[in-house]
Amino acid sequence: MSQGETNIPTLLSAMDPMLDPETYVFLTTTTPLNSLPLHTLQPQMIFQESEGLTLITTKAIAETHNYDNYTFPCRKISLKVHSSLEAVGLIATISTNLAADGISTNVVSGFFHDHVFVPEGREGDAMRVLVGMMHGES
């Protein structure tokens, strides 16, 4: 199985960002992982921290499960290019370009792809920046 691309110019030119239609949120819980209804929470990510679990799920699902402690309503932009987890500088380059436009980012790297969560309402601006980066604009 291929471990993904590491060349930054290749990654940038082939990232092909895709905007997800859902609004996502970050939430935290101290409920043990094995007690969570993962089949209905449908988390995009689960990360264990010393204070509890961080989950990313849709805003609608969080509200359905009565999680009112969510934060950062955001949109997910997935990069279609298969990036290596060992690629050096891709996320820094993307974050720097989005930051120059005043767009905060929370990035999750999966085995195959990177996913950039940007504030709801800024997704159009973020897509413009990312597509521009694909075409060599910065």
- Amino acid letter, residue 100: A
DSSP letter for each residue of 49-70: ETTEEEEEEEHHHHHHTT----
pLDDT of residue 18: 98
CA 83 to chain centre: 14
Alpha-carbon distance values, 73 to 5, 29, 70 (Å)? 30, 17, 8
With residue 95 as reference, give the H or E element that holds it. Answer: helix 90-100
- Superfamily name and number for 8-135: VC0802-like (3.30.2130.10)
Low-confidence ranges of the chain (pLDDT < 50): none
Contacts of 21 (CB under 8 A, 6+ apart): none
Give me the amino acid identity at 48: Q
Q: Where are the domains of the chain?
A: 8-135
- The pLDDT assigned to 1 comes to 61
Question: pTM above 0.85?
Answer: yes
Q: What is the bridge-based pairing of β-strands 106-109 and 45-49?
A: unpaired
Separation CA 44–CA 55 (nearest Å): 7
pLDDT tens-digit readout, 69-109:
899 999 999 999 999 999 999 999 999 999 999 999 999 99
- 101, HSE (Cβ side, Cα atoms, 13 Å): 21
